[in-house]
Amino acid sequence: MGVAKNVLRIRGFAAAGISVACMLAAACLAAGVPCNQVAYASETESQSQTANAQNVQSSSYLYAVRDSETNLWGFVDAAGTQVIPCQFESLGSLPGQSPSLVTTYSPNNGTKSYFPDFGCAYDLPGGVMNDDPFPAQDPDTEKWGYIDKSGEWAIEPEYEQARMFSDGLGLVYSEDKGAGFVNAQGELVASGYIAATSFSDGVAFVSGKLDDEKNGIKHNNHYAAIDKNGAWALDSAKSSTETDRYCYKQPIFFHDGVGFEGIKDGKAIYIDSKGNEALSASSGHDGVSIVDAGPFYDGYATIELQGVDMWAKAGYTGMGGTTAYGLIDKTGALVKDPTAKSTQWATLVDLWGGINHAGGGMVAAQDSVSGLWGYLDAKSGEWKIQPLFSEAKPFADGMAYAKDFATDDWGIIDDSGAWTAVPRLDNFNSDDQSLVAAGGLVYGTAEAVGGAAPVTSEGWMNAQGIWVASWKL
């Protein structure tokens, strides 16, 4: 059905390509970092007390931490208090990394079945436990299961792979049963697949069943959709033969109630979790096509537009490119018309930079004249935070990462654009998802200030850049 590959993903997009994502670390770090169990904030006692008080609101989360001496993992609460001892060799989701929501399978013939990166995202950053069971590896058997907030096994470790719970189910894989899904009670509700994605909005995608080959069922490098009962879903349910059920070139990621199905006749097509067309977005101008689109976040989705003569029609001369970026709402309408000549041209569309997904009612975007980044009001497309930063990331929990133009370092800003954590550190991480805040805390890496030799640490910090829990990298 011609599903286009979603190259925009959740990271936003840029004309010159997606830049390497960067991680901020705390300002004013004390010299040296202790490494017994978890090294907690070494700032003054008053700073630590402030951090603890500010994080009471996020007490429903636990945060993964590593013992620098044993390299084992455990969890602390929002105040930095150890809740689960560092006793696990590996976790299914680690700080600074997006949680994997797909399984892989390597059969004996040496080939590999896997799911490509189809833009799936998790609403919490890596290494954060909410009320769902959390995937962990048993250090004795090396099998995977799920732990609860006391560190006890909620689902016994008996799997070769275990992924984060999503949409109420955990994705697991075992050699005898293939890929499947467990509920919070550890019951296997569907299984027997070669590989699978996690559920989103009640839909998951599979690459086939273990016995398909002997039954003569061909997948043709395509995927099928299933519901939570393991029944065929979307267009897979309408197919007349088993082979025809594998009708998707790419799995569809649903977010905010809709999923980007693909591009048809220059329009972006989104469907709901029942397979019905939810919206069809177009540029509204002859010769200008939408060529790619991202998932909906906070009620808005980013789109990429192309048109050979679009700039000339808009009254601009000397434009060397033919690509622009825009924002649509849930009706499919453009927040601003990117082909209309306007003094607000640069607030939404940029030929050389890009635009990120929405968060907190704002969208990080790059001014096409200055090349600097600021934040648009998602509803109006007007600047809410002026473009003053060399890079900017989406808002979450009232905080966002921004890169200071003068120092080229990262800091944390609030929704007025004011620095809450002074930009002093130059830290990089290729995973944008790790920039998402969880209950007012963010993961970061930092080089400690002072001492005979620099010490690089990683851990969890609050919006003021104060370590709540940290350890040697």
Looking at 233, 254, 275, the residue that finishes a domain is: 254
Does residue 412 share a domain with residue 285? yes
Spell out the residues 6+ positions from residue 37 whose beta carbon is closer than 8 angstroms to its own.
67, 74, 82, 86
The reported pLDDT for the residue numbered 321 is 47
Q: What is the largest distance, in Å, between two alpha-carbon atoms of the chain?
A: 71
Looking at the chain, how many residues does it have? 473
CB contact burial 181-197 (16+ within 10 A = b; e otherwise): bbebebeeebbbbbbbb
DSSP SS3 for 290: strand
Task: Say what the pLDDT of residue 353 is.
Answer: 53
DSSP string, 257-275: TEEEEEEETTEEEEEETTS
The answer on 314 and 303 residing in a single domain is yes
Q: Which of 227, 275, 225 is nearest to 248 (CA)?
A: 225
Rounded to an integer, what distance in angstroms lies between the CA atom of residue 52 and that of residue 176?
47
What is the side-by-side order of every strand in the sheet holding 419-425?
A: 13-14, 354-359, 362-366, 373-377, 383-392, 400-404, 410-413, 419-425
Structural domain includes residue 226: yes
The pLDDT of residue 437 is: 78
Q: What is the pTM of this model?
A: 0.80
Task: Indicate if 279 and 236 belong to the same structural domain.
Answer: no
Asked if residue 284 and residue 248 are part of one domain, the reply reads: no
* Residue that finishes a domain, picked among 238, 254, 270: 254
CA 242 to chain centre: 33
Identify the domain boundary among 219, 238, 254.
Answer: 254
Residue 33: inside a domain? no
Kindly state whether residue 144 falls inside one of the protein's structural domains.
yes
**Could you read off the pLDDT tens digit of each residue along the chain, which spans 473 residues?**
333 323 232 223 333 322 222 222 222 322 223 323 333 233 323 334 444 444 444 458 999 999 999 999 999 999 999 999 999 999 999 998 888 888 876 555 445 555 666 667 778 889 999 999 999 999 999 999 999 999 999 999 999 999 999 999 999 999 899 999 999 999 999 999 999 999 999 999 998 898 888 899 988 889 999 999 999 999 999 998 999 999 998 899 999 999 999 999 989 999 998 999 999 998 877 667 888 898 999 999 988 877 655 555 555 544 444 567 788 999 999 887 655 444 333 333 444 457 888 899 999 988 877 889 999 999 988 889 999 999 998 898 888 889 999 888 888 899 999 999 887 655 545 455 556 778 888 887 776 655 555 667 888 988 888 889 988 87
Reading the block at residue 191, the tokens are 């299984």
Residue 128, domain member (yes or no): yes
Q: Where are the beta strands (DSSP E) in 5-111?
A: 13-14, 62-66, 73-76, 82-88
Same domain, 413 and 312: yes
User: Is residue 458 in some structural domain?
Assistant: no
Strands 289-293 and 301-306, sheet pairing: antiparallel
Residue 401 exposure: Cα atoms within 13 Å on the Cβ side: 29
pLDDT at position 381, please?
Answer: 85
Is residue 398 within 8 A of residue 441, CB to CB? The reply is no
* Residue span of the structural domain in which 161 resides: 62-101+115-254
Q: Round to whole Å and give the CA distance between 48 and 371.
A: 38
Q: Same structural domain for residues 377 and 286? A: yes
- Does one domain contain both 391 and 291? yes
Amino acid 123: pLDDT:
80
Nearest-Å Rg of the Cα atoms of the chain is: 23
Q: What is the pLDDT of residue 456?
A: 74
Task: Give the pLDDT of residue 89.
Answer: 92
Write down the pLDDT at residue 428: 44
What pLDDT, on a 0 to 100 scale, did the predictor assign at position 408? 82
Q: Domain for residue 473, yes or no? A: no
Q: How far is 160 from 131, CA to CA, in rounded Å?
A: 23
Give the chain's domain count: 2
Residues 362, 213 share a domain: no
